[in-house]
Amino acid sequence: MARPGIEDGPASRPWEHSYRGSGRLAGRKALITGGDSGLGRAAAIAYAREGADVAINYLPQEESDARDVQALVQQAGRKFVGLTGDIRNEAFCQDLIARAATELGGLDIFVNCAGRQHTHDDILEVSTEDFDWTLRTNLYALFWLTKAAIPRMKPGSAIIFTASTNAYNPSSNILDYSITKAGIANFAKGLAKQLVRRGIRVNAIAPGPFWTPLQVSGGQTIENVEKFGTDVPMGRPGQPAEIAPVYVQLASAEASYMTGQVVGVNGGVGLP
């Protein structure tokens, strides 16, 4: 159930046709997980407009959304690579990185946007299967993908994780999701220290309430969806287009002195 002004549909995406980059990522090669919708889609389109070739990972049932992204990337004159598969599988994660690097001709930017969020008002309702699904999608996959990506990345490359304000102020109905987002923020800070010697920067973005398909596909209750984003100072949820420039900046040479940071984009909440 969407409210006027916050739908994540074609009417809310005029920026996808009006956004014009300045070539800040010219010649770069980027892989974005979850690039078919939401924040990943916004990042993929912005990267292409900024001059990067883009590979995205998505699930087979999201093929039509991925084809939309492909059209926009190619309209920007950049190469598009679509790679389907479930990142809960370690072997697939390794293959995903290898295929992306091969088909793009390198890998300079790795962005993790794929994630699972499912609402449970009571921890007693969270089965081991649900808990495992969330952790394998949000944490295990990130670990496997990052390990596979690092050897393929040259100095000047950038890794960008997607955390959440739930890492710092967890919502009571998405405890397993919040655990993973806290882990992602911590992982970014620690890994950044390791990778300085390789010349690879690692940062994370901690979004507040952003209107994406994640919210209406089981990520929140209908009651929460109806008032989604109204509790932040700006009084509304963000649109994916409003976070895309942050993904661009962290991937670009403009952020050459930024590593180990968790950047909050949350409508004035003040976290992290």
- Give the Cα separation of 6 and 190 in Å (integer): 35
Tokens 């109905």, located at residue: 173
- Dig out the tokens for 106 from the structure: 């390198």
- Give the Cα separation of 55 and 44 in Å (integer): 8
Cβ contact 153:100 at 8 Å = no
Burial 27-58 (b: 16+ CB within 10 A, else e): ebbbbbbbbbbbbbbbbbbbbbbbbbbbbbbb
| DSSP structure class, residue 97 | H
Q: Which residues are catalytic?
A: 177
| Nearest alpha-carbon partner for 160 in 182, 133, 192, 134 | 192
